[in-house]
Chains A and B, each alone.
Chain A
Amino acid sequence: MEQIYISKASTISPQNTFIADDFFNAEALVCESDKCPAVDPDYKVLITDAGKRRRMGHLIKMGVSTSLACLKQADGSLFMPDAMMSATGMGGLEDTEKFLRCIIDNDEQLLNPSNFIQSTGNTFGGQTGLLLGHHGYNVTYAHGGFSMESALIDAMLQLKDGSAKTALVTGADEITTTEYEAMRKMGFWRNGRQMGEGSHSFLLTNEKEGAVCELVDVKTKRPLNESAVDYINSFIGSNGIKAEDVDLVLTGCDCDYAHLKELEESTFSTFNYKHYCGQYATASGFGLWLGAELIGRGLMPAANGWEKKQARHIVIYNEYRMNDYSLMLLKHAL
């Protein structure tokens, strides 16, 4: 069976992650507020065509920027992947809200086409494809808390059966004030839950050379009818890995109780990433980016930042709204 490698990764998140060196040269600070907006790079520099950029909402700018960063080669040209998979839980929510407002205000007449175009979930994948002149496979997964995982599984299947040799996978979601307020009124932002946003891109390939790490497996489960530790043990066991071979579990728990406590009290070394990126449907992409970068850079979380230590295996455990539970296994590309 073909191995799958992450050859490049790029992330925009509530942390200063777009230039990864900046993130790993400083101490990562947890988000203090229950709303964690992304640290935006200068989109004018990244998407230079003002005519195209003006039709891009925040989600699209984030998604296109991390996608292009993943594809940018040393000579400045863009690499053309065989396949593109995008993932979003909510799509262009800001433009969806504007479009719905327009429907009400204009009594269902004269609706704004730009807001409609930008509201659809597949827009950032489509825009990236248009910018690249990509005519290959380009699919968007809008599968709630499993969107990122579904896109990754599609890419892995295609790389394994030879349908594609390279695949760009991007997951993105955005914060909007309306969603934040609606969820706040329902009491959602408590028990440590914070609303986040971001975009996470990964270039997957069968080529080991120059790889950041190996992406061994991705699993989803809904609901979780066992303990989190049993879920992880069964997952790593099915991949021939023992608990002692796992150097770190990146816990993306939905809130500060139950499974987080269970995992922190287990024999696994853990690092909870949700307070660094907040909660959103594709937040597992932040965990995957963090895990891949830690292995690729030979770093591990330490008390005040990061320490030099090479991890062999990292598990990313993600929860979304106490309903969707996913696992990803990364391996050092020895």
Chain B
Amino acid sequence: MENLIEQLKQQIIEELNLEDTTPADIDPAAPLFGDGGIGLDSIDALEITMLLEKYYGIKISDPKEARTIYSSINSIAEYIKANQK
């Protein structure tokens, strides 16, 4: 799980072009969107959806479901672990 979390952080930094952010800057339990986290927005949510399909073969098409899954790095990692074939 720890490796998956670090891998996810790195992929999010690269895909979202977070050029001034390092994996150590991202608290895996902190919210990804809005205040208190790394301040991602709705375009980033689409990019994360693409990232999950590209790297993990996971397709998320329900926005309500995405809202819960994308709440933090930890929650995304848990979803990948539970759903990756």
Which residues of chain A have a CB within 8 Å of any CB of chain B? 44, 50-51, 53-55, 106, 110, 112-114, 117
Q: Is the CB of A51 within 8 A of B39?
A: yes
Known: A44-B20, A55-B17, A110-B53. 13 other contacts (CB 8 A): A50-B18, A50-B19, A54-B16, A54-B17, A106-B50, A110-B49, A112-B46, A112-B50, A113-B43, A113-B46, A113-B47, A114-B17, A114-B47
Expressed in whole angstroms, the Cα–Cα distance for A117 and B46 within the complex equals 13
Q: Is the interface of A mostly helix, strand, loop or mixed?
A: helix
B16-38 Cβ-contact flags toward A at 8 Å (1 or 0): 11111000000000000000000
Q: A110-B49, A110-B53, A112-B50 are in contact. Are A54 and B18 (CB under 8 A)?
A: yes
Nearest-neighbour CB distance to chain A for B53, whole angstroms, equals 6
Q: Which B residues lie within 8 Å of A44 (CB)?
A: 20
Q: Is the CB of B50 within 8 A of A114?
A: no
Expressed in whole angstroms, the Cα–Cα distance for A50 and B20 within the complex equals 7
Q: Which B residues lie within 8 Å of A54 (CB)?
A: 16-19
Expressed in whole angstroms, the Cα–Cα distance for A114 and B15 within the complex equals 10
Nearest-neighbour CB distance to chain A for B4, whole angstroms, equals 22
Which residues of chain B have a CB within 8 Å of any CB of chain A? 16-20, 39, 43, 46-47, 49-50, 53
* CB pairs A–B below 8 angstroms (13 shown): A44-B20, A53-B19, A54-B16, A54-B19, A55-B43, A106-B50, A110-B49, A112-B46, A112-B50, A113-B46, A113-B47, A114-B17, A114-B43
Expressed in whole angstroms, the Cα–Cα distance for A117 and B19 within the complex equals 19
Nearest-neighbour CB distance to chain A for B62, whole angstroms, equals 14
Expressed in whole angstroms, the Cα–Cα distance for A44 and B19 within the complex equals 10
Q: Which B residues lie within 8 Å of A53 (CB)?
A: 19
Expressed in whole angstroms, the Cα–Cα distance for A113 and B19 within the complex equals 18
Q: Which A residues lie within 8 Å of B20 (CB)?
A: 44, 50
The 7 closest A-B pairs by CB, nearest first: A54-B17, A50-B20, A110-B50, A113-B43, A113-B46, A54-B19, A110-B53
Q: Which A residues lie within 8 Å of B50 (CB)?
A: 106, 110, 112
Nearest-neighbour CB distance to chain B for A119, whole angstroms, equals 14
Nearest-neighbour CB distance to chain B for A116, whole angstroms, equals 10
